[in-house]
Amino acid sequence: MMGNVTLLEFLSMGREVANHRPWPRYQLDSKGWHALAEQMSVSNWEILAEWGEPAEIHVLLRGEDSGAIAVASHPCPDGAFYSLGQFRPSAIRLERAIRDLWGLIPEGLEDQRPWLDHGHWGITHPLGRPRQYDGGRHVYKFLTAEGDGLHQIPVGPVHAGVIEPGHFRFHCQGETVVRLEERLGYVHKGIAGLMSGKPINDAARIAARVSGDATVAYSIAFARAVEAALGLEIPARAHWLRALLAELERVANHLFDIGAICNDAAFAIMLAHMGALREKLLACNARLFGHRLLMDCVIPGGVAINVDESAKAQLLTLVASLRKGFKRGVALYDQTPSLLDRTTGTGIVHSTLAHRFGASGFVGRASSRAVDARKLPGYPPYDDLDFTIPVLADGDVHARVAIRVEEVRSSLNLIEQILARLPDGATSAPLPMRAGEGVALVESFRGEVALWVRLSEAGKVVRAHPHDPSWFQWPLLEAAIEGNIVADFPLCNKSFNCSYSGHDL
């Protein structure tokens, strides 16, 4: 125990790396890294992301009290590092993935099973020192549960609906779930490998496709990381237009989520209603910005779209009609006791777990974790806008619906504020050619997207690491379903709506 040392005080014992913006990066030696790992069990510093390089390990941290953010790095030329996951469970899967991708061994980590690597890549450690994999399927040992009358239900990776692939292994006693274990990695696309060596603009297009439903958030995260690395200030109008697009994306996703959650309780009319509202928004996106999901509208240096007076008027009409329709939908939800009976008290995530795993987004906020990257660390133009972060303490499916409802209302207000106060000027700035490292934290509809990038003098991406909020939400789903019944799993799962694509990279 080192007393109440703050994150930056602690890290300053390491060597600060030059040209890392906007938050510092410190290189820790072996002793420092050990001390950091041990701090994980006593401090409330959050792990925001953890990733590797062929011979180095990085972790993005935030001091919960001060809000200070920093990257800690540790060179590990011998291919092993002291595991943070043994002290902080949220890092377990991250470190298993680091082992699969970069071949760095997390020492001290109890769970040494592979995570993303299912033995189908043809090589091992594709981002480290790749070696030919001599074949043979991995035999994945699921965790066990023992007792009378227990049985297993394997679900997926291919499901009966049109959803992404993931495997769920249930241990049940009758209808009651005793243990759920997830197995993910089926949609691994090698994003980090694809981005390395690409010109910035090509890499931006890849970043926009990490998780299609959060494409604006990922684009902003990539753009902000690049701009930080280059030390580039972009025009104010670009910041405001980015926020406009981000809020449109948030509303579209939340609307659909609310409908889909109700649909999983066989209340299909809600999905139809919310789907129609979302469709209005997407059609408007296509008309004004040329893409229904706003893909590639945000580019490094600014935005690729603009808003004129007629577009403003159309957006204001859209907001007014969404607000009206949404009010009716929410009233229907609130006045259907059979639906509330399903959502209330189902799939509770305790607030201690939400804090321990650093869950962001509606999963965290429904379990009294008031975290939102738009407020902390905050980025323009949100520091200039008036909005509040809804927080609830119940942690059940209903709370996660209620958070979304509040966020839709708040986002609709934000869109109006942005349109009313949109500054004039250019919408983008040219990118200078400069080497550097940058990191960004952006609030997607799902939670905090972290993105770290290193640029070369030639204007290319040397390495990039996108981190999806789902990494810290998937494990909580396992906890939320425990003690619930099997038939309530789809409802819980939909209320989390974690990304497979963003997680599997």
The distance of closest approach from Cβ of residue 474 to another protein in the complex, given in angstroms and rounded to an integer, is 17
Please select the residue that binds another protein; options are 154, 212, 290, 483, rule is CB under 8 A.
Answer: 154
Identity of the residue, 60 or 397, whose beta carbon is nearer to another protein in the bound complex:
397
The distance of closest approach from Cβ of residue 170 to another protein in the complex, given in angstroms and rounded to an integer, is 8
Determine if 151 is a binding residue for another protein (CB under 8 A): yes
Please select the residue that binds another protein; options are 42, 313, 433, 485, rule is CB under 8 A.
Answer: 485
What number of H helices and E strands is found in the chain?
Answer: 16, 18
Per CB under 8 A, the segment of 155-163, 205-213, 317-325, 366-374 that binds another protein is 155-163
Three-state DSSP string of 334-370: HCCHHHHHHHCCCCCCCHHHHHHCCCCHHHHHCCCCC
Task: Count the site residues for another protein by CB under 8 A.
Answer: 31
Half-sphere exposure of 168 (CA within 13 A, CB side): 22
Determine if 490 is a binding residue for another protein (CB under 8 A): yes
The distance of closest approach from Cβ of residue 470 to another protein in the complex, given in angstroms and rounded to an integer, is 20
Determine if 488 is a binding residue for another protein (CB under 8 A): yes
Q: Phi and psi (nearest 5°) for 230? A: -85, -10
Question: One symbol per residue from 353 to 392: x for binding another protein (CB under 8 A), - otherwise; what is it?
Answer: ----------------------------------------
Please select the residue that binds another protein; options are 155, 391, 429, 435, rule is CB under 8 A.
Answer: 155
Give the DSSP per-residue string, 96-126: HHHHHHH--EEET-S----SS--S-SSEE-T
DSSP, collapsed to helix, strand or coil, labels residue 212 as helix
Determine if 264 is a binding residue for another protein (CB under 8 A): yes
Q: What is residue 382's DSSP assignment?
A: G
Rounded CA separation 255/249 (Å): 10
Of the candidates 35, 115, 20, the one whose C-alpha atom is nearest the C-alpha of residue 82 is 35
The helix (H) or strand (E) run that includes residue 81 is strand 80-82
Identity of the residue, 119 or 490, whose beta carbon is nearer to another protein in the bound complex:
490
Per CB under 8 A, the segment of 137-145, 196-204, 262-270, 348-356 that binds another protein is 262-270
The DSSP bridge partners found for residue 485 are 176
Q: Phi and psi (nearest 5°) for 90? A: -65, -20
How far from chain centre, in Å, is Cα 132?
32
Determine if 161 is a binding residue for another protein (CB under 8 A): yes
Rounded CA separation 60/86 (Å): 17
Identity of the residue, 215 or 346, whose beta carbon is nearer to another protein in the bound complex:
346
Please select the residue that binds another protein; options are 336, 351, 413, 456, rule is CB under 8 A.
Answer: 336
Residues of the shown chain interacting with another protein in the complex, contacts defined by CB under 8 A = 151-155, 159-161, 174-175, 262, 264-269, 272-273, 276, 336, 338-339, 341-342, 485-490
